[in-house]
Amino acid sequence: MNKVIDFLASFKIELDKVVWPSSKLTLRLTAIVIIVTIAVGFFVGGLDYLMTQLLSLILTKK
């Protein structure tokens, strides 16, 4: 039981050392993640569309 108490005490000490980001920084980074995710989604979707059209063109020429 002492090991558990020691672990929880050291856990709290380490958690007190954590520097949490401000809400402004958190919102800005969240917006960046959302924008990058949307951009990558459009990029992958565009590649998928181009590959589909290319494959369709190749298969219909035979």
Please check whether residue 3 lies inside any domain of the structure.
Answer: no
* 45 found inside a domain: yes
User: Per the structure, how many domains does the chain have?
Assistant: 1
Look at residue 53 and tell me if it is in a domain.
Answer: yes
Judge whether 48 lies within some domain.
yes
Q: What is the pLDDT of residue 62?
A: 60
Q: How far apart are CA 41 and CA 47, in angstroms?
A: 10
Q: Within a domain: residue 23?
A: yes
In a domain, 14, yes or no: no
- Establish if 11 belongs to a structural domain: no
For residue 15, the model assigns a pLDDT of: 94
Is residue 37 domain-resident? Answer: yes
Q: How far apart are CA 31 and CA 54, in angstroms?
A: 35
**21 close to 29: Cβ distance less than 8 angstroms:** yes
d(CA 43, CA 37): 10
What pLDDT, on the 0 to 100 scale, is given for residue 38?
98
Residue 32 structural domain = 19-61
User: How far is Cα 59 from Cα 57, in angstroms, rounded to an integer?
Assistant: 6
Cα–Cα dist 26/45, whole Å: 28
pTM of the model: 0.67
Model pLDDT for residues 9-62, shown as the tens digit of each residue = 999 999 999 999 999 999 999 999 999 999 999 999 999 999 999 999 999 876
